Amino acid sequence: MGTDPPARLAIMGALVDGEAVGVRCEDGTIAAIGLDVAPLPGDETIDAGGAPLVPALVNGHTHAAMTLFRGYGGDLPLMRWLREKIWPIEERLDDEDVYWGTRLACAEMIRTGTARFWDMYWRPSATARAVEDAGLRATIGGPLFDADGGTAEMRAQALRDIEALSEHGPAIDTALAPHSIYAVSEGLLRWAGERAAELGLAFHIHLSETEQEVTDCLDAHGERPAAYLDRLGLLGERTVLAHGVWLDQAELELIAARGSTVVTNPVANLKLAVGGTLPYPAARRAGAAVGLGTDGAGSNDSLDLFSDLKTFALMQRHTSGDPTVLPAAEALEVASGARAPLLGGGATPLTPGAPADFLLLRGDSPALGIGDLASDLVYAASGAVVDTTVVAGRVLMRGGEIEDEAEIVARAAERARRLGIE
């Protein structure tokens, strides 16, 4: 599906800001949108029948192939879950496991309205192949770890991953993805930052997820996590920091000054009981770019970003004690990437020249149709309201139907069984 050339696509009668408009897509971008737009000969035409059209979402942090571990040992404490369940199996993963796990993740993302995601996982070229076959877009990096030594080996692996990712098409962007400041040595962090800068690649890392991480960083380096990363030269305009639960105001101001992006993953924070969530009002005050992520299916376990959008908004209201702290339209902008340009989300509003990444929502959904659409999408909807998903001008789901979905679900389950996950 994803390897077909982008079709010329016309969507007629879609509702945007209360008006029925037409949208034409050519070469993966929006060629025209408005009241007087009509299909041209040769266009694949969809009659939206008055269904709302909204930008697609961008999942700013995940480990897509971990769909294979969904529902597996999730009630264990974090370190036991990793040591007893996840790490032994990850040692046995092969390319086909990662490919089908990622195809399963992509099917779920297409179904729930995500067009693009930021991934950190083993065998990144297999992830990239799955993303291309699914027709989505992704920024992908293989994780780096050297807490137990193995720095030279990790550098060699990173270079091989970069090389392999560079052979993929335009839907794939490459990142360096050191796991975290506690699992990666200072030397390897600096090296990864230098390679990312030299090659113009993104830099994707977990930061300030647990309070322990902050305490350990203060003990080891005499500074908080964001200040430590900045001293190593790793806070830049192409840096994505996943979590940021324990960032203080000074760290958020530093992140904003450097132009880095923070991605909050509220459901994973709740499931792993880290005791908090990104202080979004402080991040906004500082002017930091913020996006929304699910994290991997091992710690969420869903990839439905519309569902996590509600949790994001509720967590911010609850922790601030202020129900006015995050308007629904702004929460939706965070999920679509409009408040973090680096993430590469769809344009808000959709305009000619923007990537043709958008959704048609179910016009007959009981969750929509009354009241403010943004409010309905944040508080009443889930990804189940998505009817049609268009990415780069290709229709990846229409009327809730995804080509090959049954095969993808079966093949992923087969790979999970092969790995001993029942």
Which residues would be at the binding site for Zn ion (CB under 5 A)?
295
Cβ nearer to Zn ion, comparing 301 with 357: 301
Indicate the length of the chain as a whole number.
422
CA distances from 141 to 115, 127, 342 (A): 18, 9, 15
Q: How far is the CB of 272 from Zn ion (least distance, A)?
A: 10
How far is 243 from 223, CA to CA, in rounded Å? 18
* CB closer to Zn ion, 295 vs 330: 295
CA distance 82 to 393: 39
Q: What is the closest distance, in whole angstroms, from the C-beta atom of residue 192 to Zn ion in the complex? A: 16
- State in angstroms the smallest separation of the CB of 376 from Zn ion: 29
Cβ partners under 8 Å of residue 295, min gap 6: 61, 62, 63, 242, 265, 267, 268
Nearer to Zn ion, 161 or 209 (CB): 209
Alpha-carbon separation of residue 304 from 340, 393, 420 (angstroms): 19, 22, 26
DSSP per-residue letters across 101-155:
HHHHHHHHHHHTTEEEEEEE-SSHHHHHHHHHHHT-EEEEE-EE--TTS-HHHHH
DSSP percent split of the chain into helix, strand, coil, nearest 5:
40, 20, 35
- Shortest spacing between CB 120 and Zn ion, in angstroms: 6
For Zn ion, give the closer residue by CB, 161 or 295: 295
**Residue 341 C-beta: closest distance to Zn ion, Å:** 22
Question: Nearer to Zn ion by C-beta: 43 or 295?
Answer: 295
Which residue's CB atom is positioned nearest to Zn ion? 295
Smaller CB separation from Zn ion, 105 or 386? 105
**Nearest distance from C-beta of residue 319 to Zn ion, angstroms:** 21
> What's the min distance (Å) between Cβ of 304 and Zn ion?
17
Element of type H or E holding 292? strand 289-292
198: DSSP letter = H
- Closest residue by Cα to residue 309 from 249, 359, 381, 360: 381
* Between 73 and 327, CB nearer to Zn ion: 73
